[in-house]
Amino acid sequence: MLADALYAYLHFAAILTLASVLGAEALLLRAQPGPKTLLALARTDLLYGLSAAIVIATGTARVFLGAKSAIFYGSNPVFWLKLTLVLVIGLISIAPTRTILRWKKALAGNASFIPSQPELDSTRRLVFTELHLLALVPVPAVLMARGIWT
């Protein structure tokens, strides 16, 4: 039981970290673009990826090592809804990450590089879409915890 509580805590802490880092990324995409902002954005996106990996690892631990069996999760349609939301967020995050890495590379070759406004706007829209979808992930989690639609 203590192990299950630890997995839950680590999972929640990783989710809060992911949400915070994604929010910081959104704010940086609203800031005045410049070398310092772009480098901070690249570091923030790296932290986002690391926190996402920890969310997945701790979530997997909860499914396979936690108090409820993998069968409980696997047969639960609400769990699959939650996983689908997470997958969609992950797929959306690919484009901003690739763009940010490209900006970082361009900055390394040209210290005065600034991305175009349309590119900044489209990247910011994708990050905000991720944030909005992330806000929905607790809905199936709460339903599942209370045995609704399971």
* 5-to-10, 34, 95, 136 alpha-carbon distances in Å: 9, 43, 35, 23
Q: How many residues does the chain have?
A: 150
User: Are the beta carbons of 75 and 16 closer than 8 angstroms?
Assistant: no
Give pLDDT tens digits for 72-131: 899 999 999 999 999 999 999 999 999 999 999 999 999 999 999 999 999 999 999 999
pLDDT tens column, 42-75: 999 999 999 999 999 999 999 999 988 899 899 9
Q: What is the DSSP letter of 68?
A: S
Q: What is the pLDDT of residue 69?
A: 87
Burial string for 41-53 (b: 16+ CB within 10 Å, else e) reads bbbbbebbeebbe
Tell me what the mean pLDDT of segment 23-30 comes to: 96
pLDDT band at 137 (very low <50, low <70, confident <90, very high): very high
- Spell out the domain ranges in the chain: 2-145
